[in-house]
Amino acid sequence: MSTTSNKAHTDFPSLIVDTTLTETLQEDQLTGGTGRVYAITVENGHSGDIFFAIYDTKNPTAGAAQNCLFRVDQNATMTISSKTGIPISTALSYNCGTSAAGAGSVSSSKAFIYGS
């Protein structure tokens, strides 16, 4: 189970902290409203490249119809930011795997998602 803060608020959380990223989908982190993701920081402590995906749906299928997909190099930290924000209209869900399809277990990786 991942460690998150501000999980499943009725308004978009200002910060989600996930200290144990996994391939398991973290579903429905945003309910009952709209929001925008302004920045995502992913710290890859895994022994290979990882793929971090976000979805604008409550119950996504891993690897299918991601709104955004980012590859993070082995042992690197990457921040993606958007001045206007990535719009979320239904629900913010995310996962992280060793393949672009969302599969493959990752270890020692963290994510910080900032929005409003």
Task: Please tell me which residue, 34 or 110, carries the higher pLDDT value.
Answer: 110
What distance in Å separates the CA atoms of residue 58 and residue 8, rounded to the nearest whole number?
A: 11
- pLDDT band for 1, please (50, 70, 90 cuts): very low
The answer to whether 60 touches 77, Cβ cutoff 8 Å, is no
**pTM of the predicted model as reported, rounded to 2 decimal places:** 0.84
What distance in Å separates the CA atoms of residue 78 and residue 44, rounded to the nearest whole number?
A: 8
Give residue-wise pLDDT tens across range 61-98. 888 889 999 999 999 999 999 999 999 888 889 999 99
What distance in Å separates the CA atoms of residue 110 and residue 9, rounded to the nearest whole number?
A: 21
Q: What is the mean pLDDT of the chain?
A: 85
Amino acid at 31: T
Q: What is the pLDDT of residue 5?
A: 52
